[in-house]
């Protein structure tokens, strides 16, 4: 009986931990989307990992990269969070974005836990499901 109870408690704790992590990651990405919608690149830049911040050196450079290279992220019409996966200690959040023209884009956000919480450590554009290779 004690073994079953312990296993149940550990399963519940693990599920709650995964749910909290998922919620935190989605929250960071959502807040960055809101900052982009407001053209608040300084705030959006705060959600980037230290490595990304070092690479771009300023929120202006970061904002220029997003507006030119990721217009669907800068001006999404709709955002849906898909699966969160962990691979060799790295967390990837898959996101479906509908742009202003109604086209769907799939991206994966590479997440990094820092002392300040979760931060975005890169974004890659994925091939759309069913796209010819």
Give the residue-averaged pLDDT of 59-82: 94
Read off the pLDDT band of 8 (50, 70, 90).
low
pLDDT(3) > 80: no
Listed by start position, the domains of the chain span 2-126
- The pLDDT assigned to 116 comes to 87
For the stretch 101-105, contacts whose Cβ atoms lie closer than 8 Å and that sit 24 or more positions apart, written own/partner, are 102/77, 103/72, 104/128, 105/72
- The pLDDT assigned to 133 comes to 47
Read off the pLDDT band of 22 (50, 70, 90).
confident
pLDDT(62) > 50: yes
Q: Tell me if the domain spanning 2-126 has CATH number 3.90.550.10.
A: no
Chain-wide mean pLDDT for the chain?
A: 85
- The pLDDT assigned to 12 comes to 45
* d(C-alpha 55, C-alpha 126), whole Å: 22
Read off the pLDDT band of 15 (50, 70, 90).
very low
- The pLDDT assigned to 13 comes to 44
């Amino acid at each position: 009986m004690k073994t079953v109870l312990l296993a149940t408690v550990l399963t519940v704790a693990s599920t709650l931990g995964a749910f909290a992590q998922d919620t935190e990651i989605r929250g960071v990405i959502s807040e960055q989307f809101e900052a982009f919608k407001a053209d608040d690149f300084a705030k959006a830049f705060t959600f980037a990992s230290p490595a990304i911040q070092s690479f771009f050196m300023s929120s202006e450079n970061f904002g220029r990269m997003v507006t030119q290279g990721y217009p669907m992220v800068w001006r999404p019409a709709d955002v849906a969070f898909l699966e969160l996966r962990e691979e060799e200690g790295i967390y990837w959040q898959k996101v479906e974005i509908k742009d202003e023209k109604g086209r769907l884009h799939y991206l994966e956000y590479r997440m990094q836990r820092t002392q300040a919480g979760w931060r975005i450590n890169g974004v890659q554009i994925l091939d759309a499901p069913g796209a010819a290779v």
